[in-house]
Amino acid sequence: MRFLHTFLLLVVGFATVTVVYCASFLPLERTFPLNRPVEIDRLKTRDLVRHARLLQRVSVGGIVDFPVEGSSDPFQAGLYFTKVKLGSPPREFNVQIDTGSDVLWVNCNSCSDCPQSSALGIQLNFFDAASSSTAGLVACSDPICTSAVQTTATECSSQNNQCGYAFKYGDGSGTSGFYISDTFRFDAILGDSLISNASALIVFGCSTYQSGDLTKTDKAVDGIFGFGQGDLSVISQLSSRGITPRVFSHCLKGEGNGGGILVLGEILEPGLVYSPLVPSQPHYNLNLQSIAVNGQLLPIDPAVFATENNRGTIVDSGTTLAYLVEEAYDPFVSAVTSTVSQLATPTISNGDHCYLVPTSISDIFPPVILNFAGGASMVLKPEEYLTHRGSYDGAAMWCMGFEKSQGGITILGDLVLKDKIIVYDLARQRVGWASYDCSLAVNVSMTSGKDQFVNAGQLSMSISSREMVFQLLPLRIMTLLVHTFVFTICEFL
C-alpha cells in the first residue's frame, strides 16, 4: 500500500476521565455457585478484575489479542490489517498494522477524498463523532497541541478550537484531520481463565482529507493503526496506564491467505533472538552490521547501515517489500545471481532483477543472513527475499523483493517479517524474532519480565502453579466469558 514513512515524533499528554457511579435496584447473581469448591486462582482473578474496576483501570498487565487479515503478497493484499472497535455504541474499523508510524486514525464521515469501496473484500466504515455518546474533541489547550516539542503531527485551528494533525508519507500520500477522544474496546486476558470485554479512553485521529495512494480503492482500508514508540500510539497510551505491558508482538503468515497473530504482550518462544534498539529514534531502528549470502559475508562497509543523518535500518510492518541502501544492494544482487547462475536464468522484468527458475527456489537459491548488533542473526529463506511474478517460457519467474533504497534507509518490510514471531519490547528497548509457523498458537507473557504467560488464540486452558496457558489460534476471535455485573456505572466524559 505504501513503502516509506516520514519520521514523526509525537509528544502528548492524556486527559483525565471522571467516572460517576449511579444507584439503582439491581438483581444479584452469583459468579461462583454455592457448595462447590472453587480454585483460589479463580478467586484471585475475580478480585483482580473487581479491584481494577474500582480503581478505574481495565487490567493490570493484561494482554490484548487482535485478529489479523491480509498478506505480504504485493499482487494480493500487500498489507496486513486488523479490526478495532471505537465509540459508543462501538463501530468496527479495518486498519493497517503499521509499526512505522505512531497514530491510530480512521476515516471520518466528513472526509470527501476517502475511498468509498475496497478491492480487499471489506466494507469501509466512517467514524461519526456525533453518533458516539462518549466522543469528545481534543481542544487546542490540550497537552497534545501545547507540548513544548511541536511536530507536524499536531496543529491547532483557532477558528474552532480543534487540535488537528497532518501526516505525509514517503510514497507521497498524506492525510489530515482532527483528534478525537473516545472509547477503544478490546478483548483483554487477565489471570488464568478470564477473558472479558474491556475498554479504555484513547486519543486517535479522524481523517477528513487524504491524498496519493490512500485515495485508491485497490487496497483501501478504514485507516492506519500506528504501533510506533510515540506517546500517542495506542500501545503507549495503554501501557502508560498499566492496562497492557509495554511490549507487543506479531506473527504474520506468508503462505496461503495470510493472516496471523497480533497481540499487546510478549510472545515467548525458545528460538527468539534479540537486538537492541538504537536509542532516541522515532522508529524501530536496529544496528544492521553485515549480510551473508550462502555463508559468505558480502564486501559491505558496516558504516553504510549506521543510524545517522536520516540513514539506518528500520523494522516497518507498513512496508510491503524490503529496501537496501545502494552500497549494499548491488553486492547483494550480484552474490545471489552468481550463486544461482548455473541453475536459473537471470533476466530483467520491468527494471527488476528476476530469474527464470525451472524447479523449486528452495533447491536453487541460497539462504541470506542479516547480522545485527548483540549477536542476533535473521536467516531469510528464498521466498523471504524473492517475489513470484508468474511464469515465462514454461519456467517460474521470481524477482528480487529487495529494492534499492533511494533515501539511504534500509527498511525491513512484510516480505522479511512474515513467517516470524516479531517482538517489539519497548520496556527493554529491543526487538526480537524467530522463524515460526504463524498458523500455530503462541505463548504470550502476561506481564513483561515475569514468568506468567498465556497462549494467544482460541481458548483452551492448562494451569500449573507457575504458568497459565490459553490456546489462541490466529484468525480466530476470542470467546468471551460473560460475567453479570452487580452495579451500574455512568460515565461522564
Q: Which residues are catalytic?
A: 98, 316
Amino acid at position 251, single letter: C
Select from 482, 401, 398, 425 the least CA-distant residue to 196.
Answer: 482
**Measured distance CA(55)–CA(45) in Å, rounded:** 15
Query: Cis (ω within 30 of 0) for the bond into 89?
Result: yes
| H helix or E strand, kind and range, residue 417 | helix 414-417
Sign of dihedral through CA atoms 424, 427, 429, 432? negative
- Taking CA atoms, 462 is separated from 63, 465, 477, in Å, by 17, 11, 19
Give the start-end residues of each E strand in 230-375.
247-252, 260-264, 266-268, 273-276, 285-286, 288-293, 296-297, 312-315, 322-324, 345-349, 352-357, 368-372
User: Do 264 and 273 meet the contact criterion of CB atoms below 8 Å apart?
Assistant: no
128-139 burial, b at 16+ Cβ within 10 Å, e below that, comes to ebeebebbbbbb
**Dist CA 261 CA 409 (whole Å):** 28
C-alpha cell at 38: 472453587
